[in-house]
Every structure is written in C-alpha cells, then in structure tokens.
Structure 1
Amino acid sequence: MSVRQFSAATSVLAMMAFAAASPAHAVTEIQWWHAMTGPNNDVVNKLASDFNASQSDYKIVPSFKGSYADTLNAGIAAFRAGNAPGIMQVFEVGTATMMAAKGAIKPVSELMKEEGEPFDPNSYLPAITGYYSTSKGDMLSFPFNSSSMVMWVNLDALKKAGIDAPPKTWPDVFEDAKKLHAAGNPTCGFSTGWVTWALIEQFNAWHNLPIGTKANGLDGFDTVLEFNSPLETKLLENLVELQKDKSFDYSGRTNTGEGRFTSGECAMFMTSSAFYPNVKANAKFNYTAVAMPYFPEAKGAPQNSIIGGASLWVMGGKSKEEYKGIAKFFTFLSDTDRQANLHQVSGYLPITKAAYEKTKLSGFYEKNPILEVPLKELTNKAPTENSRGLRFGGMVQMRDVWSEEIEAALAGKKSAKDALDTAVSRGNQMLRQFERTATK
C-alpha cells in the first residue's frame, strides 16, 4: 500500500470512528392528544405520519384520549401534574376554560411569530377566526376540525311515507316526523345528537336570538343566560309532545345516538356535518343533508349557524425545540392542498379561504353538494352578536345541566317553560362561580 493510499484509508477509519462516537440525531417527540374516532381517527394518524415523513427533526405522536370532554379533562389534569402534551385538541365550547387556565397555554399567534412561521389570521374563514381569537384579534388556538350542524335525511324513508322533499321549517319537521312514525319504518321520525348544541346553541344563532348577554360571552365573562324566550319554549313544547309516541325520540347528550340514522331507525337526524364519513360508509339507503330548520315567524330567520368541532391548543411549559416543531406542524397543516383534501375526506370544513375556493373551483361541490351545506349555513348572513359564537366558562359541565332540564321536560316531569327557566337559573349560578375563579 502506497503512502497516499495508507493516508486515505487512515482518514476513512478516523471518520468512521468519529461517527460511531457521535450521538445519533435526536428527534424531538411531540405528543398530540385528540378525541377523533372512526374514519377521522385515521385522518389524524395520516396527518401525523405524513408530517413525520416530510422531515427528520420532529415526530408527532397522536394519542386518542376519549370524548371531547374526556380529552379536555385529561389535558387539564396532565398540566397540573406537569406532563401535559405539546398539542391538545379541545372542542369549541372548551375555549373559555382554556383561556382561563393561567399558564396552561401558549397562544398560537404568539408561537408562530416567535418561531418565524407564516401565519395570517385573515387567511382563515372569518366565522372560525373570530371564535378562537381574543377581542384584539389575536388567535389563541389553531383551527383544526371545524364543522356546523346539518339535518341528515333518509330519502327512501321520506318517499315511503309520502313526503316529497326534506323539510325546511320546524312545523314541517314536526309534521313529517308524525308521518314517518305512522308509516312504521323507521320507528323514530326525528332525533338529534348533541342536544344542547342543536336545541339551544345552534337554534338561537340560526334564529338570531341571544343565548346570553355580552355577545354570548365573547365580550366578557360577566354574561347572563337568556335562552328561555317564547320561541325556545315553543320548540321544546313541540318535541315534548312528539316524544310521547316517539315521532321524536331523544338520543342522548352527545353524538352516541348517530347510529340510529345510519341503521335506518331515525329518518331525520340533526348532528354535525362531520358525520359525513360515517354516513357514506354505513348508510344502505339514499340520503342527503340539508340546512337546519327554522320557524318562519322568527324575524330574519334563518340567520347563520355557528361552528362546532375543535381547535388545537399549544400547552405551556414546553421546550424551545417542541415549540419549533409544533409551529412547523401547523404550517404543514395550513397547506392549501392539504386543507382542501382534509375537508373532502373528513366532512369537516376547509378552514382557509384558499382551500374553500380551490374545492369550489374544482367542481367538487357539484358532485358532493352535502359538504357545502354547512359552509352555506355559516355564511348565510353576516354574523350578529347573537350568532358569532359563544364563550361561556364551565361550558362542558353547563351543557350537562341544560341537558338534565331538557330530559326532565321530555320525560314529562316539568313543563318546557319550567325546564328552560331552571336551565338558565342553574347555568347563571355556574357562570358566577366560574367568573369568581377565573378572575382571581
């Protein structure tokens, strides 16, 4: 071996030895806790794996934590114990709770600015931006899976009952529910998931009625509930009457009863537009989704719907590297093509204007009109103080209280008016307690 060859071989061996002695490239893991089930759980896992494959510095680790309420409670408990995830999915009504958890969160607008990632709140749909922003316009969380409420309709069942078209008004819903029930199949004419979201939150926004003062809490924690007006009472009174023979049949507080629609048991079912993948996969009949019904005597109705779904909150106390990775992941999620595809496969809304326009221009809605229904609801009219959204403290627990009172009315234990009056009274007590805690 020549001197030159020996020298080259020595250099190679030295480099190999240095490489062996050097630590391996460290990948920063970022925990992402979420509440997605079924096909949308698959969407979450794919987003994480696609991001992980796109670079080698960070690894998003998704972890299912149960229902929305379970995920919120788990995240708060984990923060108190000092082991919160980097990212937590929180449903929209948990916004006030997250805002009040001092030190628990890092606002997304602050994160993106610090990490130098592109982030323009104006690129998102206004109905979404407003819900997750402070009064100054600073976004607190990252919009992820936004939805709205629609009415799913079994067209075959309607045809069998002699009903020509899906109902548009509440009186039509009541009448069609009786006809469907009388036809014998399905046994339940009409039902709903997320009962307080349907019968109070969305109902009031759609009819331009206040749920509470201070723009439904968006303008301050010292809000007072007021959803016990004659129109809300009229709705509940009609449902109480229909419940007697199960023309309307209660399906629980959350979305656990949605399978009653896909099984063919309930012909009309109000729930999230994000129910789409499940309907597509499981319904063995002709179906569609239409806008929520309204009372025609309500001045200006329908107004506009409000968003449901959830956003991604960045938890406080994380390392600089974790925050850098989270910011890059949010930039990855904001990609127009990715957002358009996410909308088209999940049933959730395109969160950016660009993704909506891209989907529209592609002709997608001409073949899939169902997925544009919630977007048309959200943009039906410019939002008012009654229809921008809501931000009540302790909303998870308060929904249970409202549900208890609705259940009492449906069971014949209280009049509809008494139930709503009590729901408002109990809710106001909870708001005052939250206010005292949040402003300490």
Structure 2
Amino acid sequence: MAIRHFGAAAAVAATLAFAAPAHAVTEIQWWHAMTGGNNDVVNRLAEEFNASQAEYKVVPSFKGGYADTMNAGIAAFRAGNAPHIMQVFEVGTATMMSATGAIKPVYQLMKDAGEPFDPKAYLPAITGYYSTSKGEMLSFPFNSSSMVMWINKDELKKAGIKTPKTWPEVFDAAKKLKAAGHSTCGFSNAWATWAHIEQFSAWHNVPIGTRANGLDGFDTVLKFNSPLHVKHLQNLIDLQKDKTYDYGGRANAGEARFGSGECAIFLTSSGYYGTAKGTAKFDFTSVPMPYYPDVEGAPQNSIIGGASLWVMGGKKPEEYKGVAKFFAFLSDTNRQAKLHQESGYLPITRAAYEKTKADGFYEKNPTLETPLKELTNKEPTENSRGLRFGNMVQMRDVWAEQMEAALAGQKTAQQALDDAVARGNAILRTFEKTAK
C-alpha cells in the first residue's frame, strides 16, 4: 500500500513538473492614478501586453489621485518595496528628478535592455518636459494633456449663445446661462491652480516665475501676483458671489458637474474626453482656453499636463528588461493612435499624430485636436515652455488655499496672490537646500 501510494504521488509530481512553465513569469508592478474610462484603458493596455508575450506580467494598481500615488510611491521606496513603474503628474517632475537613486532614467533603462529608443520619435512639446538639458529622457511620457474649455453645445444653443473665445465672452455667456436656468453654475473649472495660474500664465505669455519658470535651474522667484493675475482673480471673486462662476475645487472632482449638465462651460484637461464620452447625454465639444484680448500677443501656447511613467530604482535586471519591453510596446504607432483617439490624451509620438491626421480622424473628431492646436499655437517662449518647480504638489495646495480665501471674501485678490507667491518662494528655498 505504501509503495503504491508513493508511486502514484511521484507520477502526479512528474505530471505537474511537465505542465509547469519553464520559468516563472516576472511581475511588473505599475501604480497609477487613472479613474473612470481611463482606468479601463490602463487595465486593457496591461492585458494586451500580458497576452502578447509569456515572460512578463504587468500588474496595474490604482493608488488614488495623482498626489496620493506620488506620495505612496515615495513612501514605498523608502520602505524598500516601491513598484517598478509609478505614474507621476507633470508637476512632480522636479521632485522626481532630484530623488537621486530613487529612479532609473528611461534613456538608461532602454539602453541597458537593448530596446530600440529614439527620443526624437516623440512629440518635442512633451519630451522636453521630461528630459534633462542634454535631451536625456528621464521618464516615459504616458498620458499627456493640456487644458481646454469644454462646451455643452445643446445648452448654449438653447440660450442663444455663441461659443466664447475670450474671457469677457465667457463671463457674458455664463451670465446668460444663469438667466436661462443654470442657477448653480454659469461656468467652472477643475484643477484650480493649473487653470488660473499655470495655464493662464503660459496662454498670456506672462511668467509664473523667473528662470523660465524653473526650467533653467534653481533660484527661481515666483511672479504670478502681477496686475493681470490680480485682475483675473478679482473677476472670479466678483462672479463667484452669485455663482456666475462657481469654484470647482483643487482636483478634478468637479468634472462631474459638466457631465451631468449642471455646468455648461467647464475648463479642465483634454484627458477628460473619455469620461465625457461615457457620461454626457448631450452634444459637447472642446475649444481653446479663453484669453483677455487686451493682452498683447495672447493667446500664446499652452503647456502640457497629465503624467509620465517613472521607473523606480533598486530592481533586478530581468525586471528592468520587462519594463523596457512594456515601454516599447506602448510606443507602437497603431497602439498610440488608438490610445489617443479613445482617451483624449495626446499622441506621444510624431508617427501616431501623423497617422491620426492622415486617417482623417480630426475631421470627424475636432475635439481631440484642440489641445494639439493649443500646444503648437505659437513657438514657445520662456514663459510658455512649461514649468519645473520643486515641491510643486505642496505649492499647489498653498496657492489654492489663497485663491479659496479670496473667493470666500477673506482676502483681496492682491493679498491672496502676494501671500501665495511669498509662501511659494519659501517652499522653493526649502526644496533647493535638499536638492542642490
């Protein structure tokens, strides 16, 4: 009995040995901040890559909003269990660049893995943001976007309003929408500081800070308490009183107010397209951000938002090889074109953009070309190349806090922006002490 039992067990073990794969699949952990339709896109990309080969398995994990994901990744690195790939929003770039040893630069990753990689294949407006002054790409562009103005065409038509182009026209349209029944919201926005400080400044070709908004190095001094910035915030304060303008919050939670039809004019990311497509029960489009027509040279060009994929340090060579293969997979022209067309995020490669144009996609879907037209509206200047400030996540909260105080009538527009600049400069000086 004992001998027969041993023999049967051995046979089972032998069968399992033959059935097992020749080697274990290497898992690649990917932490991200995508929600709604874009979360589905992330999961599908991972599934497609996993099905395309048998050596690696990308495991995506949602870790909350952009700031939450970045903070979780930094904490995990300190604890020795960081993911292989971490999605970090664009304003976290300076912080990630200064984290020596915490990251594996993408240009080095691709070179070590022997994967084809040409930085010139990617759109320069995007890659410049994530590269060193020598053109070495530090992170992999993923969901790049810009800010656009979303329009509920049905509601504007019903109220007899033409699509506004300038800020005065937006204010006038919002008042008419209020009169037509939009009692709680004439217009609004998500990402308050991105809308009314960062993109606003670039679009009007005025500095957020010195030294090309930090792109040219440390010791930058913030400048967004200028007369133009004060005028704009004062206009928002005045319109907030009767909700012609209604503050939409620091992050993107307010976007649901556009999809529900509550706010017929709404400024937020072009990457909102996937969610708008799945929630809005009305005809909508996106148009360029508004501008003040009395500002010489406006509009200038917009700057990118969204996020890139950073590779964390301290991983095994075979794991890095899997990450490199995944990035090569993501760069495929057809895949990039499809990703752009479905999500609303920008095509990260020149080839994907050209393919989308050649296929006539923008003729039927002009909404998705809006951010590309904004980014390329004019040759970038020192004020509109982008920004690179350390501890930007904390600074955005400080800036938003001051804006909120002004909108609540607790400070004047000038006081709020003066305080935002002063506190922001203090944060920059603290960052420089640790980063230099």
Q: Which of 243, 262, 277 in structure 2 is aligned with 1:280?
A: 277
Alpha-carbon offset, residue 187 of structure 1? 3.1
Match of 1:64 in 2: 62
Matched residue type, 2:49: F
Alpha-carbon offset, residue 162 of structure 1? 2.3
Match of 1:413 in 2: 410
Matched residue type, 1:41: N
1:379-432 Cα distance to aligned partner (Å, 9 max, x none): 111111111110100000100000011001111111111111110000000000
Alpha-carbon offset, residue 351 of structure 1? 0.5
Q: Which of 298, 315, 327 in structure 1 is aligned with 2:324?
A: 327
Tell me how far apart the structure 2 counterparts of residues 21 and 369 of structure 1 sit (CA, whole Å): 52
Instruction: Write out aligned runs for 1:231-380 (5 A).
Output: 231-380=228-377
Match of 1:9 in 2: none
Asked if the contact 1:157–1:185 (Cα under 8 Å) also holds between the matched residues in 2, the reply is: no
Alpha-carbon offset, residue 24 of structure 1? 4.0
* 1:111 and 2:109 aligned: yes
* 1:102 and 2:96 aligned: no
Tell me how far apart the structure 1 counterparts of residues 378 and 20 of structure 2 sit (CA, whole Å): 61
Q: Identify if the C-alpha distance between structure 1 residues 62 and 160 changes in structure 2 by more than 3 Å, giving closer, same or farther.
A: same
Tell me how far apart the structure 1 counterparts of residues 362 and 56 of structure 2 sit (CA, whole Å): 36
* 1:223 and 2:220 aligned: yes
Alpha-carbon offset, residue 23 of structure 1? 7.5
Asked if the contact 1:157–1:186 (Cα under 8 Å) also holds between the matched residues in 2, the reply is: no
SS in 2 for 1:372: helix
Asked if the contact 1:186–1:267 (Cα under 8 Å) also holds between the matched residues in 2, the reply is: no
1:269-288 Cα distance to aligned partner (Å, 9 max, x none): 00001111111111122211
Give the TM-score, by structure 1 length.
0.94
Match of 1:44 in 2: 42
Tell me how far apart the structure 1 counterparts of residues 18 and 334 of structure 2 sit (CA, whole Å): 41
Tell me how far apart the structure 1 counterparts of residues 339 and 19 of structure 2 sit (CA, whole Å): 44
Asked if the contact 2:122–2:350 (Cα under 8 Å) also holds between the matched residues in 1, the reply is: yes
* 1:187 and 2:192 aligned: no
Paired residue total: 424
Matched residue type, 2:158: K
Asked if the contact 1:186–1:264 (Cα under 8 Å) also holds between the matched residues in 2, the reply is: no
1:324-382 Cα distance to aligned partner (Å, 9 max, x none): 00001000000000000000011100000100000000011111100000000001111
Q: Which of 156, 163, 167 in structure 2 is aligned with 1:166?
A: 163
1:267-323 Cα distance to aligned partner (Å, 9 max, x none): 100000111111111112221110000111111111110000000000000000000
SS in 2 for 1:264: coil
Match of 1:30 in 2: 28
* 1:143 and 2:141 aligned: yes
Match of 1:382 in 2: 379
Tell me how far apart the structure 1 counterparts of residues 48 and 154 of structure 2 sit (CA, whole Å): 40
Asked if the contact 2:183–2:243 (Cα under 8 Å) also holds between the matched residues in 1, the reply is: no
Alpha-carbon offset, residue 180 of structure 1? 1.0
Alpha-carbon offset, residue 159 of structure 1? 2.1
Matched residue type, 1:381: K
Match of 1:7 in 2: none
Matched residue type, 2:381: T
* 1:125 and 2:120 aligned: no
Tell me how far apart the structure 2 counterparts of residues 111 and 36 of structure 1 sit (CA, whole Å): 24
Tell me how far apart the structure 2 counterparts of residues 199 and 19 of structure 1 sit (CA, whole Å): 62
Supply the RMSD in Å over aligned alpha carbons: 1.5
Q: Which of 387, 393, 397 in structure 2 is aligned with 1:400?
A: 397
Matched residue type, 2:100: K
Tell me how far apart the structure 2 counterparts of residues 125 and 226 of structure 1 sit (CA, whole Å): 29
Give the TM-score, by structure 2 length.
0.95
SS in 2 for 1:188: coil
Tell me how far apart the structure 2 counterparts of residues 42 and 161 of structure 1 sit (CA, whole Å): 36
SS in 1 for 2:406: helix
